[in-house]
Amino acid sequence: MPRTRDLFDDTTMTFGEHLEVLRMHVWKSLLGVALGIILAMLVGDRIIGILKAPIDEALRNANVRHVQDDMKEVRLLDYITGLFSGEQQDPQPAETAPPPEPDDAITVEIRTAELVDTLRTAAPELLADSSPDDPDAIPDTSSVRVTVRSPDFAVWKKTADRFNTTVTFRVEEAFMTYLKVTCVAGAMLASPWVFYQIWQFVAAGLYPHERRYVHLYLPMSIGLFVAGALFCFWFVFPLVLSFLIGFSQWLGVELQPRLSEYINLVLLMPMMFGISFQLPLVMLFLERIGVCTVKTYTDNWRMSVFVMSIISMLLTPSDPGSMLLMLAPLIVLYVGGIQLCRMRPRAEVDPLA
C-alpha gyration radius of the chain = 31
C-alpha–C-alpha distance, residues 190 and 195, integer Å: 9
- Percent helix, strand, coil in the chain (nearest 5)? 70, 5, 25
Answer whether residue 132 shows pLDDT above 60. no
CA distance 90 to 147: 12
Q: What is the pLDDT of residue 1?
A: 43
Cα→Cα distances 181→8, 9, 16, 236, Å: 42, 45, 37, 21
- Conformational region of residue 352, where left means phi above 0, alpha means psi within -120 to 50, and beta covers everything else: alpha
Least confident segment among 105-114, 184-193, 324-333, 338-347? 105-114
Strand partners, 146: 108
pLDDT category, 146, cuts 50, 70, 90? Answer: low
Tens digits of residue pLDDT in 330-342: 999 999 999 988 8
Q: Is the pTM of this model over 0.95?
A: no
Work out the pLDDT band at 95, boundaries 50, 70, 90.
very low
Q: Which residues contact 329 (CB under 8 A, 6 or more apart)?
A: 228, 231, 277
Provide the pLDDT for residue 157: 54
Q: What is the pLDDT of residues 174-202, one digit of tens each?
A: 999 999 999 999 999 998 898 888 888 88
Nearest Cα residue to 284 out of 213, 353, 198: 213
Q: DSSP assignment, residue 344?
A: S
pLDDT at 341: 86
- Per-residue pLDDT at 178: 94
